[in-house]
Amino acid sequence: MEITARAPGKIILAGEHAVVHGCTAFASSINLYTSVTLRLLPEEEDTIEIQLNDVGRHLSWPIERIKKVLSYIGSPFPSKPRPCSLETVEALAALVDEQYSPGKEVTIASGVSALLWLYACVLGFKPVRVIVSSELPVGAGLGSSAAYCVALSAALLAFSDVVNLSIGQKGRVIFEEREIDLLNKWAFIGEKIIHGNPSGIDNAVSTFGNVIKFKSGCMTRISAKMPVRMLITNTKVSRDTMALITNVSLRKSRHPDAMSSVLNAIESISDEWCSIIQSHAKDHRALSTNEVKLAELMEINQGLLISLGVSHAAIDTVLRTTTKYKLASKLTGAGGGGCVLTLLPTELSEAVLEKLVEELESFGFQCYTAGIGGKGIEINVNGDP
């Protein structure tokens, strides 16, 4: 039997940086996915094989080599998510370095470490083949690592004894709510191996889908009723998220009153965005009115983010280009590069969109179109269960 799980990426719609200071942010799933296919191999093969399609890497280890590093684990414990100690993270990194010299691909290498930990904890030391492919760029702020950890956790749990494998139409595996919660917890552990101290927003959005509102550590799942389509432009400019967050905090310490006003304004935008996308437009005119409101909020939000000092010349280039087409844009995530969102009204023609994308790509940027608020994790069985 073979299991394929796919999980969506995410975008921050509003509230980036303000969320660090106790304000509301909200994030949405997007219909760009990472897929993980897992197949159990015959016992006599005694290997774990990992195929990373998007970087053209194929890795494999004898099971005994994995056991040597993780000998203390013993039997698998899929129902009890267990953090990976720093010592074990370092041991796994050394193991991965034996076959994978990452260079600049550190996130991918740490992703392999996360795979090995989740595999041993959830499945034990069974011979397996794991194939990973993704539509999401790595390190662009679109939740690629979270989508990977969610899809991986789902595929592993589907083979474990803690999931009641209920198979619906077309081989779709149906997880119960408690099983979905469990895979989200395992995915968060994988995210910690990759990023150290993530918020948990990315894996939650990828697991449950739709929209999640986040404030002071509390997450609320929201159902978006308004269809929204975005152009996502990846500037391909890498950024130091921690440095950007630190600089905002320093600016706040120097100008507490002014910065508090900016952060409160961003929170108001988040709340209004949330209210609009939860409303159901009764006709096309009402939908267009809501799209105008969202566009205005994006423009205001971007201005406020500029005042926080987190924009970048590449982001400004995207903004100038989309403004020529009378479209509203804002950065998403940490800023300082990364990705920019552009709202695509329902009345925008495909010809105009193609012209815009061509112009943006002439700067060396990479563009994706994506709807927001779609499904979370999806799991399918290939072959006989």
Whether 307 shows a pLDDT value over 50: the answer reads yes
How many beta carbons lie within 10 A of that of residue 302, not counting itself? 20
Specify the pLDDT at position 73.
86
Closest CA to 203 of 218, 181, 179, 172: 181
> How far is residue 380's CA from residue 7's CA, in Å, rounded to a whole number?
12
Q: What CA–CA distance (Å, rounded) separates 328 from 176?
A: 40
CA 28 to chain centroid: 9
pLDDT of amino acid 129: 96
pLDDT, one tens digit per residue, over 202-248 is 999 999 999 999 888 788 988 888 989 999 999 999 877 878 889 99
Residue 104 has pLDDT above 60, yes or no: no
Active site residue 202: yes
Residue 157 zone, left/alpha/beta (φ > 0; ψ -120 to 50; rest): alpha
What mean pLDDT value characterizes the chain? 90
**Residue-wise pLDDT tens digits, 11-26:** 999 999 998 898 989 9
Catalytic residue among 181, 202, 271, 384: 202
The pLDDT-based confidence of 385 (bands split at 50, 70, 90) is: very low
Which pLDDT value is given to residue 299?
97
